[in-house]
């Protein structure tokens, strides 16, 4: 079973597309979750939680709900008894890849010591 819930009535603070994008991904965690879903094959709550930067579980839970709500992520049940879920990016979520790549490029070029590799280090799964 696949759930996609998208509520289309969000109200924005301005008509600027950047401001609108930031209302959704303008925080320290959301794009890291997208990164892990897109490149690091982390698709379960557990795997996402064990990611390099150690997102708090309540934050992860809230962000995943928001991403589902906006249609960037869908959750699917991949196993019953016990029920287990996987999170996957939708086309809308995958369309953020150039944003991630540019953020990675900027960080790599202008912040010392950062990696330039979508694969990253993957310290633990």
Partner DNA sequence: TTTGTCACTTTCAAAATTAAAGTGACTATC
Partner DNA sequence: GATAGTCACTTTAATTTTGAAAGTGACAAA
- Find residue 70's DSSP bridge partners: 6
According to DSSP, the β-strands at 84-89 and 2-3 are unpaired
For DNA, the binding residues in 95-124 under the rule CB under 7 A are none
Residue 120 CB, nearest approach to DNA (Å): 20
Specify the DSSP element, H or E, that contains 79.
strand 73-79
Structural element, H or E, at residue 88: strand 84-89
| Binder of DNA out of 69, 71, 76, 85 (CB under 7 A) | 85
Sign of CA dihedral 3, 4, 10, 16: positive
Residue 69 engages DNA in binding (rule: CB under 7 A): no
Which of 44, 90 has the CB closer to DNA? 44
Q: In what helix (H) or strand (E) does residue 100 lie, and over which residues does it extend?
A: helix 97-110
Q: Binders of DNA among 10-39, rule CB under 7 A?
A: 27-29
Q: Which tokens belong to 125?
A: 């799964």
Q: Out of 57, 101, 105, 114, name the contact with DNA by CB under 7 A.
A: 57
Nearer to a second copy by C-beta: 82 or 113? 113
List of residues contacting DNA (CB under 7 A): 27-29, 44-47, 54-59, 61-62, 64, 75, 81-86
């Amino acid at each position: 079973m696949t759930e996609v819930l998208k509520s289309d009535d969000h109200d924005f603070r301005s008509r600027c597309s950047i401001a609108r994008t930031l209302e959704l991904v303008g925080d320290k965690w959301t794009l890291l979750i997208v990164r892990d879903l897109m490149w690091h094959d982390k698709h379960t709550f557990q795997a996402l939680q064990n990611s390099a930067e150690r997102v708090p579980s309540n934050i992860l839970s809230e962000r995943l709900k928001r991403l589902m709500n906006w249609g960037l992520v869908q959750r699917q049940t991949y196993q019953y008894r016990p029920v287990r879920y996987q999170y996957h990016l939708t086309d809308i979520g995958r369309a953020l890849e150039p944003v991630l790549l540019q953020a990675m490029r900027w960080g790599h070029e202008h912040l010392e010591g950062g990696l330039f590799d979508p694969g990253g280090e993957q310290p633990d799964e």
